[in-house]
Chains A and B, each alone.
Chain A
């Protein structure tokens, strides 16, 4: 992983921050994938209920539910899965490139499980109704196992991003795969998958024709038992939190306000579902109609969305902890870019360069594009205008120069003093409503002061600084 810094063309997502674009797609994909995984297990359970004579309606439900799984998961899930790859390239080609480089064989292993999942799934979809129970169960078990193993493999790669374990010391791929958050994460996701599948089953039962209320009620309460493992979620959550780095934990506990809010919302949504499932569905054996089921599925989607936002967010300031910052610059490259500049070698020109009032502001736009645009917009979602609006010019210079100290979940500034001043002027120009003229700022004393701040803070990440100071 010692490739020279590659400059990729950077796209403007307009008022959306890039994280939102990939986040929406990611949340939909994760939700559908978990639905498919839990769905496989749920169908095995219902097949067992049916073939052992415990539940006469089970076979009918399994066939109906599987069609739903195919239509939703095989189609939407498959396309959004490929879409995740493309979306990740749009946000950080370097991140996905590094991950593919390190884990391509595991991705290839996952591909073999996808193929098995599709094969077993379609065999059941097309011929399940014509098969005897034993063969139906065989296909369902293979389908469920294949879909769970796809979670197993991708979970190792994704959890490595936050908790690389001994990977960077040993260079061994398996050390990275079986990292500290691997097991809590995979078990947590398995339980989540079961819960999502149970809620989706409640919805599907309500959509199935030729069933009376009593029959639906019976099936709903059978499916509801799949929600009981969710009772272990608080413990699993604590285990996961124990496994992630302390600084990441601190972002969710107040270190980063949006992160904390989303964390709390994820817990609240999950609690609502758990309480309703436990007291309403299992103890009081309440009937739920299609609307209530839809509401519960929506709550589960929201819980997934908030939890995924937190999972992505707690990696800050990295996309690959200890190696690659969220703006696709490695820890080692920061020092070099402070010498040569982050815009110097960028071959891609600034689009509509003539709209900028002078070269310095145009350079500031380039600096923003290279260092900030992956997470910020100029003045819309997570806009720099909003973040820095109350800062004085001098404050801006110092806060950006000492960025990793200003906010430890931000990466260190990776450019020259000249570039930093250009960025400050660009922000000022944006904050002032983009006037036609804007004075250039070329005071050598200002640049010297910026250089001094950059030297003072150094090139280490904020997390390393915190750790060192904590050690002192």
Chain B
């Protein structure tokens, strides 16, 4: 594996790895919104005590969160599909070893989902501050639990057979490893810059003219810049802590030819994002061009990070044993149908959005 990721693998493996990483990034874009958004809502009270106005972002989060969770779950289906092709037995074994504790993500997701709708309800009983806050915290706890479960599942999936059999024999509910905390913290902190970018675009694109007049744009811009910068800085610290914990094999792969350039790209993206948010902080505004640069840099960081994440896994998994299975999977027909329907259905999705935007806006309302 001396070539740049994913080129150092045989054709079928390269193809499925690339698809997996690409669809994972798509999922992450929505998942970050949900994770960081629910954390923001839960911690909103603290920001209010600091005199920070969080009304508009909070309103947007309450309004959009159910859709974003649906999108996160739906976008998550594709990487869930491709991870089964790429890693097969490892993914299944981790699921089985965590058993009840893993399956608990289903009721947790359901509770979290309905809590998001409760946040939108205006019933009197739900307006009581204590109950409101309890719902916000519970919602965040639900999604934090799902994030923790996925991280634990992933870390268990890359262990050796010896660790698996030991875990099975012990009947333990959880898989404990020192890697869990920094890795989960990295995911969590890294979700805030994505949230900041999402919210900035939503404020720009969804507010009506009247709403724009009411929004305190300078304070919103500073708040989002703060969220982005704190997220980037804390994610960098977590990444450093996690890096220090990794072995030589993982470091070699993530800084060497396969993933090194991606690692650099991720860092460059983070630096550009930071610079962008600093300018936004200073300008007290969310200019379109700058947001575009920040958003592209964010995507670059997410792509780079996703590849580095994969490199760490590949350092622990002997993927050569799976080449044959990838070749068999690649021989299956249906790719043409997928590409065809991907194009058609993406066009239809864009058509739906455009239809709503043009028709609703023509009636004087912003989407």
Contact = CB atoms under 8 A, between A and B. Distances in A.
Given A105-B334, A112-B342, A120 B92 contact: no
How would you classify the secondary structure of chain A's contact residues: helix, strand, loop or mixed? Answer: helix
B334 A106 contact: yes
For B70, B73, B114, the residue with the greatest tally of chain A CB atoms inside 10 Å of its CB is B70
Contacts of B359: 127, 130-132, 135
Contacts of B84: 96-97, 100, 104
A142 B76 CA distance: 22
Interface in A72-104: 74-76, 78-80, 82-83, 85-87, 89-90, 93, 96-97, 100-104
A6 interface: yes
B318 to A, nearest CB: 15
A141 B349 CA distance: 13
Interface in B241-292: none
Nearest to A173: B333
Given A118-B70, A173-B333, A79 B106 contact: yes
A406 interface: no
A127 B110 contact: no
Contact of B93 (A8, A76, A96, A107): A8
Contacts, number: 187
Given A3-B325, A115-B345, A131-B360, A97 B92 contact: yes
Interface string B63-103: 00011001101111110111011001100110111010011
Contacts of B171: 351
A11 interface: yes
Interface stretch (B162-170, B213-221, B230-238): B162-170
B81 A112 contact: no
A300 B173 CA distance: 37
A71 B117 contact: yes
Interface string A97-140: 10011111111110111111011101100110011100100110
Contact of A127 (B73, B80, B85, B356): B356
B161 interface: yes
Contact of B74 (A83, A114, A132, A348): A114
A138 B96 CA distance: 44
Given A86-B106, A347-B161, A123 B93 contact: no
B49 interface: no
A107 B81 contact: yes
Contact of B338 (A83, A105, A118): A105
Given A75-B110, A79-B106, A111 B73 contact: no
Interface of A: 1, 3, 6, 8-11, 71, 74-76, 78-80, 82-83, 85-87, 89-90, 93, 96-97, 100-109, 111-116, 118-120, 122-123, 126-127, 130-132, 135, 138-139, 142, 146, 172-174, 347-349, 351
13 contacts: A75-B117, A82-B106, A85-B80, A86-B95, A93-B95, A105-B338, A106-B338, A114-B77, A119-B349, A123-B353, A135-B355, A139-B355, A142-B348
Given A108-B338, A123-B355, A348-B169, 5 more contacts: A93-B93, A97-B92, A116-B349, A138-B355, A347-B164
Interface of B: 66-67, 70-71, 73-78, 80-82, 84-85, 88-89, 92-93, 95-97, 99, 102-103, 105-106, 109-110, 113-114, 117, 161, 164-165, 168-169, 171, 325, 328-329, 332-335, 337-338, 341-342, 344-346, 348-349, 351-353, 355-356, 359-360, 363, 365, 367
